[in-house]
Amino acid sequence: MAKSPNVILHIGVHKTATTHLQMALQAARPALSAQGVAYYGPSQLRKDGQFLPERLGLPFAKVQSNVDQKAEWQAMVGDAHRVVLSEENFVGVLNRKGAQLVTPLYANAVERIAALASVTAPNGVDVFLSIRAPATFLNSAYSQILMAGGKVRPETFKAQNPLPAVDWVKYINRLTRIQSLRSLTVWPYEDYAAHFLKIVSLMVGSEPAKAVQWESEWAHRSLSARAVAELLELDQADRTPRKAKLVKSQFPVSEQFAQFDVFSGEDHAQSGVLYADQIRAIEQMPKVTLLRA
């Protein structure tokens, strides 16, 4: 390989249509490869326990082994001039046991990205992520807990996770301090559809982006209030992801079943103010490109 490829790292954030973007890129993977773009998403990076840290022998891998980092990375790169890695779990989990948000958000992201770049990106890494209004972000996080088989009352979750805890400014400010960071592209989840083509073009290149198509189906729909009530009534033995999917399908968000919401109208207004302030601050940060509708 004549020179190091451009390394693109997409790190979510969780609950910001990450799976939708990954599905679109995965479907175009053969076409991207033919144009010199190697794409690795969850289908590749969560296979047989070979998560990215384990595969490349990074310091924080759960299972340490004598990996030839250079050889493994060369095998992943092949003849590609650009490598796109999309894995939101790479920078950490969202919730603590007991359904409390991990704060500060993704506390080890800087060290993890720096370690990855030291192995894969001698010329620096370009990072991509989305953010979301605190109230709807937390709503989605709560639904994820229930869908995974967890049980926590809405009022408990709300008390444990105040809106100001979702602080994107502090998170992104930490990311900008990564020495190997070349650029950081951020977009509001609320504008994802409007920016989809731009995001894909920036990640894979303008010409290869033509092979990536918008997925008509969203991966994770919201829960209805009725579905949440049903899930909270399940016995311990019945609280499984499989059962949760069944309940969700039985009581989908519709005219009959209203969408569940942990927060009040006043909460959403507060969330909007916090979010607008955060977006303005992020837009001024060095190395950050904020996509605005």
Across 153-163, average pLDDT: 94
Residue 160 has which token pair?
């444990």
Residue 50 burial by Cβ neighbours in a 10 Å radius (0-12, 13-18, 19+)? middle
The predicted structure's pLDDT at residue 97 = 61
Whole-number Å distance between alpha carbons of 133 and 102: 17
Percent of the chain with pLDDT over 70: 98
Amino acid identity of residue 55, one-letter, is R
Pairing relationship of beta strands 6-10 and 37-40 according to DSSP bridges: unpaired
Cα dihedral value 281, 282, 288, 293, nearest 10: -110
Q: Tell me what percent of the residues of the chain surpass a pLDDT of 90.
A: 86
Distance of CA 281 to the CA centre of its chain: 21
pLDDT of residue 107 exceeding 50, the answer is yes
Contact assessment for residue 52 and residue 45, using Cβ atoms and an 8 Å cutoff? yes
Instruction: Indicate if the pLDDT at residue 161 is higher than 80.
Output: yes
Q: Which residue has the tokens 């190697």?
A: 38
- For domain 6-219+264-290, give the CATH number: 3.40.50
Domain ranges of the chain: 6-219+264-290, 223-259
Helix (H) or strand (E) run with residue 38 in it: strand 37-40
> Cα dist. 265→189, 268, 270, 272 in Å?
20, 5, 9, 11
198 within 8 A of 290, measured Cβ to Cβ: no
78-95 pLDDT, tens digit each: 999 999 999 999 999 887
For residues 148, 200, 30, 51, the Cα torsion angle rounded to the nearest 10 degrees is: -40
Amino acid at 57: G
DSSP-assigned letter for residue 187: E
What tokens appear for 214 in the block?
A: 């918008």
Neighbouring C-beta atoms of residue 159, cutoff 10 Å:
10
Specify the pLDDT at position 1: 43
pLDDT tens-digit map of 5-21: 999 999 999 999 999 99
Token code pair at residue 287: 């190395």
Nearest Cα residue to 205 out of 13, 41, 5: 5
Is the pLDDT assigned to residue 293 strictly greater than 50? yes
Q: Is the pLDDT score of 238 beyond 50?
A: yes
Model pTM greater than 0.75? yes
pLDDT of residue 29 exceeding 80: yes
Is 69:84 a contact under the CB 8 Å cutoff? Answer: no
Whether residue 110 contacts residue 175, with contact meaning beta carbons closer than 8 Å, is answered with yes
